[in-house]
Amino acid sequence: MKIPAGLEPLLYDGLIDEVISPLMSGKEAAVYVVRSAGQICCAKVYKEAHHRSFRTHARYREGRKGRDSRQARAIAKRTRHGRKEQEEAWHNAEVDALYRLAAAGVRVPQPYACVGGVLLMELVTDAQGAPAPRLSDLELTEAQARDYHHRLIAEVVRMLCAGLVHGDLSEYNVLVDGHGPVIIDLPQAIDAAGNNHAEAILERDVANLAGYFGHFAPELLTTQYGRELWHVYESGELHADTELTGRFQDSETQADVAGVMDQIEDAREEAQRRGGRDTAERKPWGRVGALNAA
């Protein structure tokens, strides 16, 4: 096969030994099966920003920490150097997310290296050793749909416990190996605590899963795992083995705004009275003045 331009430098430098075949091409990157150091793995070649759908959208970059303030200034100025730094940050975000999630027990491919806009990582395979199919390519039974949905919600829980939201989770970004679903494609992963859009993006990810699996198991269409999950996360009670119900109900109790304002006013007046008493006790002339007035 013709060697892709993005892989030529890695071949030249000896980082990969052979390009075996193309694997898949998506909106963000093209993936190839390669041999590196005698091991079969895959190489993800990122597309240039003007060919990508995300284009490192600001809502995904919010809350990310760059290498230093100099890099942040370069990106903000959108100079040629700044665009290069932004591309590097986009690539590194996926590598960082993969390492972070793997350490948290999330089923993701093992990353090996990221060089020159190419990510080398584990090749996920099916039970026969062939490249694993995407979830979107499978025809599921109702029982399989429920099972895979349950497993992926558990993965989303573990991701959130690790402080990350996928940002583009769907049937197209999940592989199915011999043991079940594996989550892929994470350059747009966001920091749950540092991104103001995290709640909405998480709910969209979870809704995407419900929408897909709902074709096979319709009862999943009415679940509300996203809202429930975020509520538990915000309460500080989320942990890796949290079991969710898929049900969530907003509080129907109306806030007693007038009562709260009355309490605030009472507290303010009491503070003023207490402040006056404290002043009189601290300043002897205050008592003299009071006696003279009497």
* DSSP letter for each residue of 115-183: ETTEEEE---B-TTSSBPPBGGGPPPPHHHHHHHHHHHHHHHHHHHHTTEE-SS-SGGGEEEETTEEEE
- Residue 168: active-site member: yes
- Residue 185: active-site member: yes
Angle at 127 between CA 124 and CA 128, to 5 degrees: 100
* Side-chain half-sphere exposure of 133, counting CA atoms within 13 A: 8
Structure tokens at 6: 């993005």
Q: Active site residue: 126, 137, 185, 266, which one?
A: 185
- Phi, psi (rounded to 5 degrees) for 186: -125, 20
Residue among 266, 269, 291, 267 nearest 280 (CA): 291
* Amino acid identity at 230: W
Contact 89, 72 (CB under 8 A): no
* Sign of the torsion angle spanned by Cα atoms 209, 215, 218, 221: positive
Where do we find the tokens 């002339």? 285
Q: Where are the alpha helices (DSSP H) in the chain?
A: 8-12, 58-61, 69-77, 80-103, 142-161, 198-213, 225-234, 257-282, 284-293
Residue among 29, 33, 162 nearest 108 (CA): 162
Q: Active site residue: 168, 250, 266, 278, which one?
A: 168
* DSSP letter for each residue of 23-37: EEE-SSEEEEEEEET
Distance (Å, rounded) from C-alpha 32 to C-alpha 19?
7
Q: Is 271 helix (H, G, I), strand (E, B) or coil?
A: helix
Active site (catalytic) residues: 168, 185
